[in-house]
Every structure is written in structure tokens, then in C-alpha cells.
Structure 1
Amino acid sequence: MRTRLPRAEREQQMLRTARTLFAARGYGDVTMDEVAAAVGVTKPLLYNYYGNKERLFLACMKPAADALVKSVVSAVAAAPDPPAALRAGIHAFFAFLDADGEAWRVLHDETLPGGGEIAERIGEYRSRMEELVTAALQEHTESRAVEPLSVAIFGAAEALGRWWLRTGELSADRTAELLIRTIEPGLRMR
């Protein structure tokens, strides 16, 4: 006889399973049929909880984005000055990636749709991360260079994160230091 899980437990089970599948194979290659089968529920039950694949993905993505942003915000807030904040933020970014690569893969999935609510939410997450970089650059970078540098630094962190997850050649800390050593000389503009 099969035991019925309470709704909240079943919901968490569905999210954990979906997140693992999305992280491993990407949004584009995961189906609701697969998620339902992996959880051990019917597809109609999965749809009853989440409505569609997009909403299921968003339910997986939001806690991942919130956790990463919170981790970086905490590190940046504890720094004594903007240069230290930038370094602390980069270290926090890679420490998060090291601690929860699955969440990071969900956020940086290259198979995500280019439009719709998922694209909007990912855009909001990226904007929050770029704003943190912008705040750290503000005081020691020429004002017209702040925005493009923020985009470039965050893009470099994402690309290096993908490389790190694929190869694992360096520790997260050494990878963060590599990025910092690469960008810091170019930031001495003032």
C-alpha cells in the first residue's frame, strides 16, 4: 500500500526532483512526464500542483536565485570598502557555486526560453547581481564605465563558473582569485 504524503512534503519532493532534472539536462530537455515519473506521481497530479513546466521551473528557480543573491549581498555588506566588496562578492559567488552547483545550473541554463516569464525572472536575477557589482564599482570607477564594466564582470563570472563546473580544475577560491586578479588592474581608473 502506498502512503500519501502531506501536500507540502509532496510539493517539496516534486521541486527537488524537478530541480535535479533541470540542472542535469536543462529546461529544454526535461518533460513533465519525466518529472512525474521520477517523483512517482501521475502527470495530472504534477499539473495540479504547478500548472505547467514553466511554473514548475519558476518554483525551482526562485529559491536558487534568492539564495545566491542573499549569499553575495551578505558578503558585500560585510566588506569595509568597495574594492573589498567586489572581491567578497566574487568569492561568495564561487563559494555558492561550489556549495550548490545544481542551483547555479538551474539559474544559468543555456536551454531556457528567450521570452516569457522565465526570461523575465532570469533578467531580474541578473539585474540584481549586476547592481551588486555596480555598487562595488561606483566609488573607484569612472561613472560612464560602471554599467558596461558591471555587465562584463558578471558575464565573466558566469562564463568562468560554467568552466569551473565543467572541469573542476581549480578550487572555487582559486577560481574567484583568478577572476579578481584578471579584473582588478583594469579597475584602477581613478
Structure 2
Amino acid sequence: MNQRLLTFLRPALGLLAVLAAQWTLRLGAREAALVEWDCGGGRCGTNDFAGAAPVLGVLALVAGAYLLLPKSRRALAAPLVVIGTAVCVVIGLEEGIAEGNIERDGDSYFFMFGGLDSRNLEIAMAVLAVAAVAVWAFLAFRGAPRPSVPRTETAAESAPAMPEPDREDERTARVIAQLTRLRESGEIDGPTYDLAVAKLMR
């Protein structure tokens, strides 16, 4: 697939997923009291979409966070999902109270938190959101790039480099010294010495 098209599709799909998530989460909280559950044999089920809305909303929010966040920042997805869920549930509860579906101090009927009244559920969501904000801040600052500190050169590093001794010159000087000793001892004559030194000095 074209890279440019993919670059456009990811944020677009991520935004759609987040919009769908907030709608379903608000619906699930707003109309939880209206859902009719059929329970039997230790299991409960419903044909009402609002009954499945909390689960679907969280899944859509996870998908949206995954699509919108860059790969290097995906660790932030979990706290952002918790924050988004908590905010949407509180908004949905307030909408349900305003519409008369839920009483402020009555049972919220919301998913696994159904045993809590709406006021305590809002408090629980606020506590979850605050905890998630703390986790998000910790992860965001831990993963932030640290400013680079300019490196100061030490005196040894800033000093001009000393040229290395020329090893070829040293070797030539040692050979000439040996030839000089041989000439002085009479093992080689003058012309041979001069020829050898001339060849070395080329």
C-alpha cells in the first residue's frame, strides 16, 4: 500500500475509533438502567446494544490509541484508555441523570460497577482517572528525550596532537650506525660504505 495513503489512513481511522468509543461508552453509562438482562444458569445476556457498549467502547478506545500514538509512545496507550473511559462514563452518567434514566443516589446499573450508585461510580471513575494521569505523566516524562549537554574538552584533548616519530628515519639511522661500525672495524671498505649509505638516503 502507498506509504502516503497509509500515513493519512492511520490517524483518520484512529480518530473514527475514538469518536465511536466515546459514543458507545456514554451510551452504555446513560442507558444502563434501561437494559433488560435475561439471566439463567449462572449466565446473563441481552439483545440491547447498550449492554455491550462498555466493552465495545473500551476496545474501540484501545484501537484508537494504538492507531494515533507513534510506535515509540505506545506505552502511554493504557493510561490514556483509562482516562478516556472514566471521562466518558461520567459524562454518560450525567446525561442519564439529566434524562431521568438514573437517580443520582440510585443504582448506576453500569456494567460490573452496577452495584455502585451513580454518585459513588462517578467518584470511582474520578479516582481511576487521577491515577491514570499520574501513570501517564510518569511514562511521558520518562520517555522524553533528555537535552544533550555540550561536552567540554579536557586539556589533554584540546592540546595539539604531537607528531609521531618517523619510524622509517629511525630505522635508517640504526642501519647507518651499524654500517659505520663495520667500516671502522675494517669489515667493509669506504666505497662500499658510501654506496650503502647513498642507497639508504634516497
**Would you call these one fold, judging by a TM-score over 0.5?**
no
Which structure shows the bigger proportion of residues in helix conformation? Answer: 1
Structure number with the bigger relative contact order (C-alpha 8 A, sep ≥ 6) is 1
